[in-house]
Each structure stands twice: as structure tokens, then as C-alpha cells.
């Protein structure tokens, strides 16, 4: 019912706007509109190899995302809408991640169907000074709050965001009150009695390649987090660049909804990440180091819902390398095969090793490692433009509570511009 009221409100706003709009102004609403059909086929194979996490996760599904984006009436107001649907094609395994295992009646779920995005958007200003806002069912992509598209269908939120740009300085504030997880059709409240998540922040990049970002957020009587980043891009010439980055994220309990509130040992942790990336021509190599200070690093705003990743280079497929006291090193390599006469083919691979982990409450220090690769081919032929195939393969081993796990994912994506 709330969604219906929102849609009626949006329609009323648009209708009111058009009544005071010249034909030329209304034309931009239509001419700048786009409609894209995104078909995604995913095969998921993940198996646990140890007694504490023995499972057989095999699943095959077909997803469809129909994304509409309008232009702006009078260069001020518009709306976007997306339908997401998914159907389970096969599930020979015993654990599933692309679809909820049970619905409210404890029945198995074989499909997903939802209006995942539906929001009013507005803007004012010019290239140097502008203000943009959205409200409704939305994506988020900030350092402290982001949706994830690693499964059959992405997650999304109900809420709003305002962004401002002032001569290159960027600021934002957002608030979300509901979430639609990646494996379900509904929009639900956050867990642990969390009614909302608020975040805000800003960033600025100088002409010399030096940039900064600072973000802060809190969830209703549960968690507060701060994120700070500094980075520098150095042009070495000959199409070669060196990118350096340091970032740190702090997380601590913030009220009665958190399970450690008023306990002697209240939750408090930090995640520090250092990165260096050298790119030249078709080759990119990077080296990363991270350190966890205090408890296991917790970044979920309610400690319950599954909605998105963390802003850390060393977060991988199976492990976020975020155990208590953990120290991590990672080396990564990527290659674009265009120089070898195969445009559209790319390879990304990484090896990540974490050690000095305290995850069992004893004096023994654990370790873990994960290696993973992505091979992707985007078809170049005009008839197949928009079609891509990606194979994601990874292996995790360690003497932590996460347990040994192997994984394979195959994504077939086809994006067709209809408008």
C-alpha cells in the first residue's frame, strides 16, 4: 500500500509539472529516457569441505531486470523504475543463496518478483554547483552503504539520498528504512529492531591527483561507523599510472539494540587497508595490506540482513579477512587481451593470505588464504553487443571457523537497449 501511495504521488508530481512545461521542455523527458532489458543466467556451485560447514550449494537460475530511466521534466524532475524477476531452473544441492529457502509459510521458494526500484528524482543547478535528490526504492553506492549485484538479482533499499556538488567538492546524505535482500521479493524492516540507517559524507580530488573522502553513519541504537580515505594517482608516462590509497573504517556498538550494549566488553573494531596499484597498457598489478584492530570487524548495519559488501580491497568471495587481530596481504593481477588481438577478453586473479587471527578465544593464532579468478568475455560482434560470459572460481582454506570451501559461479549477462 505504501508503494502504491508513492507511485500515485510520483504520477501527480509529474502531471503537475507537465501542465506548466513547454513542449520543448517536455520533449527532453522523452528524448532522454532509456529502457534496458538485462537478462542474467547464473549457475552457482559452492561446497563446504569441513565438518563445521559441510554443505552442497548448487543452484541454477534465470533472472530478468527491466530498467527504465526517464529524462527530466523542465530539466528538474523525473522518475526511474525497475522490475526484477527470477526463476529457479535447477537446485540439485541442499543449500541455496540466490533464493530464500523458505517463505513466511515455510514453503520452498522457486521464484522472485518485485518492483526493485521506483523513485522520484530531482535536480537543480549547473555543472559547477548542483543539487540532486532521489526518494523511493533505490540503489545505494556510498562507502558505508551499498547494494550488491553478485547474485542472480541485486539488493535494494527504500529510502532517499541528496547529493551536492560544489566546484568539485561532493557531499551526500541518505536515509534508508527498509531492505529487499538479494534472494527475496519483499521489502522488509531491518533486523534487531533497527528502524533506519543514516549515512553522510563528502569527497574532494585536487587537480594533482590527490583525493580525500570522509563518511559517517549510524543505525538505530545498533551501530555507528566512520570511513576515511586518502589516495593519490601518479602519472608515470607511457600510459602507466601508479595509484596509492590508504583507508580506515571504524565500527562500534551504538545503543540498546546491539547485543553487546552495557556489557563489560562492548563491540569496537577497525579495518585499516593500504593499497598500491600499477597499471600500464593491458596489465594491472596491485599489492594490498590490511589490519583488524579489536573485535571481528562487523559492517552489517543491523547484524542480520544480507545487502552488500564492505569497502576493502582484501574482501574476497568467501572471506572478508576481518577476524579479530587479523593481518592480511594480497597480490592481484589483471590482463586485458585486446593487445593480443582478442578484444573483450579479460582476466582478474588474486591471492589473499590472512594470519595472526584470534577467532577461538584461546592463545592459538589461526590463518586463512583464498585464491580467486574471474575470466570474462564481452562479445564484440554487433549482433551480440551487450552479451558477456564470466566464470568466477575460488578456493578458500584455513583453520578458522569459516571452514574450507570451494566455489564456482558462471554468469551469462545480456543487456539489450530497447529505448
pLDDT digits (tens, 9 = 90+) for 236-255: 999 999 999 999 999 999 99
Residue appearing with cell numbers 564470466: 390
Determine, yes or no, domain membership for 1.
Answer: no
User: In angstroms, how far apart are the furthest CA atoms of the chain?
Assistant: 74
Q: What are phi and psi of 405, to 5 degrees?
A: -150, 140
Domain tally, the chain: 1
Segment 127-145 shows an average pLDDT of: 96
Determine, yes or no, domain membership for 254.
Answer: yes
**Does residue 9 surpass a pLDDT of 80?**
no
Domain extent, residue 239, equals: 29-417
**Does residue 3 surpass a pLDDT of 50?**
no
Determine, yes or no, domain membership for 375.
Answer: yes
**Does residue 16 surpass a pLDDT of 60?**
no
**Does residue 408 surpass a pLDDT of 60?**
yes
Of 147 and 305, more confident:
147
Residue 310 pLDDT: 87
Determine, yes or no, domain membership for 396.
Answer: yes
Of 19 and 287, more confident:
287
Determine, yes or no, domain membership for 214.
Answer: yes
Using pLDDT thresholds of 50, 70 and 90, give the confidence band for residue 323. very high
Determine, yes or no, domain membership for 107.
Answer: yes
What is the distance between the alpha carbons of residues 63 and 73, in angstroms, rounded to a whole number?
32
Residue 282 pLDDT: 97
Distances (CA, A) of 343 to 28, 54, 233, 377, 387: 35, 40, 26, 8, 14
C-alpha cell at 146: 551499498
Residue 100 pLDDT: 67
CATH number of the domain encompassing residue 278: 2.40.160.10
Burial of 138 (0-12, 13-18, 19+ CB in 10 A): buried
Determine, yes or no, domain membership for 12.
Answer: no
Amino acid at each position: 500500500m505504501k508503494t502504491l501511495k508513492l507511485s500515485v504521488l510520483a504520477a501527480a508530481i509529474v502531471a503537475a509539472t507537465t501542465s506548466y512545461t513547454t513542449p520543448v521542455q517536455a520533449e527532453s523527458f522523452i528524448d532522454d529516457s532509456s529502457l534496458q532489458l538485462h537478462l542474467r543466467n547464473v549457475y552457482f556451485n559452492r561446497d563446504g569441505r569441513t565438518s563445521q560447514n559441510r554443505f552442497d550449494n548448487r543452484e541454477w537460475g534465470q533472472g530478468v531486470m527491466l530498467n527504465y530511466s526517464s529524462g527530466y521534466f523542465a530539466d528538474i524532475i523525473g522518475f526511474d523504475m525497475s522490475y526484477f524477476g527470477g526463476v529457479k531452473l535447477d537446485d540439485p544441492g541442499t543449500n541455496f543463496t540466490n533464493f530464500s529457502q523458505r517463505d513466511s509459510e515455510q514453503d520452498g521458494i522457486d521464484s522472485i518478483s518485485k518492483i526493485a526500484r521506483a523513485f522520484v528524482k530531482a535536480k537543480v543547478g549547473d555543472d559547477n554547483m548542483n543539487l540532486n535528490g532521489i526518494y523511493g526504492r533505490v540503489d545505494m553506492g556510498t562507502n558505508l552503504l551499498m547494494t550488491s549485484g553478485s547474485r542472480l538479482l541485486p539488493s535494494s533499499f527504500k529510502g532517499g539520498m541528496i547529493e551536492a556538488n560544489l566546484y568539485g567538492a561532493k557531499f551526500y546524505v541518505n536515509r534508508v528504512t527498509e531492505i529487499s535482500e538479494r534472494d527475496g521479493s519483499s521489502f522488509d524492516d531491518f533486523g534487531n529492531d533497527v528502524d533506519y540507517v543514516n549515512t553522510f559524507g563528502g569527497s574532494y580530488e585536487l587537480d594533482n591527483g590527490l583525493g580525500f573522502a570522509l563518511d559517517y553513519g549510524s543505525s538505530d541504537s545498533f551501530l555507528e561507523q566512520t570511513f576515511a580515505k586518502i589516495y593519490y594517482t601518479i602519472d608515470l608516462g607511457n600510459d602507466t599510472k601508479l595509484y596509492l590509497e590508504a583507508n580506515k573504517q571504524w565500527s562500534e556498538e551504538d545503543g540498546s539494540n546491539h547485543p553487546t550494549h552495557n556489557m563489560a566488553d562492548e563491540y569496537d573494531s577497525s579495518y585499516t587497508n593500504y593499497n598500491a596499484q600499477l597499471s600500464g597498457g593491458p596489465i594491472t598489478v596491485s599489492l594490498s595490506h590490511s589490519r583488524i584492530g579489536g573485535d571481528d570487524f562487523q559492517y552489517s548495519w543491523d547484524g542480520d540482513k544480507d545487502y552488500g559488501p564492505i569497502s576493502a580491497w582484501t574482501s574476497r568471495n568467501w572471506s572478508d579477512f576481518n577476524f579479530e587481530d587479523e593481518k592480511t596481504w594480497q597480490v592481484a593481477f589483471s590482463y586485458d587481451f585486446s593487445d593480443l588481438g582478442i578484444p573483450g577478453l579479460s582476466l582478474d586473479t588474486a591471492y589473499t593470505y590472512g594470519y595472526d587471527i584470534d577467532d577461538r578465544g584461546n592463545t592459538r593464532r589461526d590463518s586463512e588464504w583464498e585464491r580467486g579468478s574471474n575470466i570474462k568475455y564481452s562479445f564484440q560482434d554487433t549482433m551480440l553487443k551487450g552479451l558477456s560470459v564470466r566464470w568466477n572460481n575460488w578456493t578458500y582454506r584455513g583453520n578458522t571457523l569459516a571452514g574450507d570451501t570451494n566455489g564456482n559461479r558462471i554468469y551469462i549477462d545480456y543487456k539489450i537497449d530497447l529505448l
